[in-house]
Amino acid sequence: MAVARARSRDEFAEALRGLGERYWDRHPFHVRLHDGDCEPDEVRSWVANRWYYQRHLSQKNAAIIANCPLPQVRRRWIERIAFQDGEGDGEGGLADWLALADAVGLDRAEMLDERHVLPGVRFAVDGYVAFCRARPWWEGAAAALTELFSPDHMADRVAAWRRHYPWIKPDGYAYFEHRIPVVRTDSEYTVDLVLTHCDSRERQDAAIAALAFKCDVLNAMLDAIDYHGRPR
């Protein structure tokens, strides 16, 4: 049986970027969130549940590093852990997310004990971490390519929230302001990494499937949040 040829670099990049149609910015809940149609409790639910995702990013990234035999990739990828965890307590992306929680009126103790995290969100995030632990490192890297679609979305979020939700304290936007320039650089690095190391049709197909899976994870999180917030 003939083996399918590998896509050209441009064809492969186009296939990856084409998955932006499955990114969670098109989810009905995110559309409402950005249009200013969410109640304060819905905004808080999104922040509290997204915390569970944020808290697991360093473990996900550590899993990718653990599976990667290439020192040059590990040295570069570990920067993501340093960004998220910070150099010390009260620093980094996790601290900035907790500042966002404070800004929307969530109790810090309730954030940390994760009582507001929904079962569907736990299932989706845990599945993503398990995927990155079990699959080859380059599939984990490909799954992270939702960062191709996120910088402009985050910038739009900050602008929309400032316009529609003036009750959110301004210092809550630190996470997005710090993350946007970093994720632009990270996405350029990661897409080049995936394009370089996924050099067979089999690897390319697996990378595309990994990114599609990650889009499904993000949308599953919003499905849970949206369903939970609907009137009964």
CA dist 63 and 86 (Å) reads: 18
The mean pLDDT value for 208-214 works out to 98
Backbone angles phi, psi at 216, to 5 degrees: -65, -40
Count Cα neighbours of 164 within 13 Å in the Cβ-side half-sphere: 17
pTM, full prediction: 0.94
Class of domain 9-229: mainly alpha
Domain boundaries defined on the chain:
9-229
Q: What are the pLDDT digits (tens) for 130-162? A: 999 999 999 999 999 999 999 888 999 999 999
Which parts of 37-136 fold into alpha helices (H)?
Answer: 40-67, 71-85, 92-103, 108-113, 119-134
Q: What are the pLDDT digits (tens) for 86-137? A: 988 889 999 999 999 999 999 999 999 999 999 999 999 999 999 999 999 9
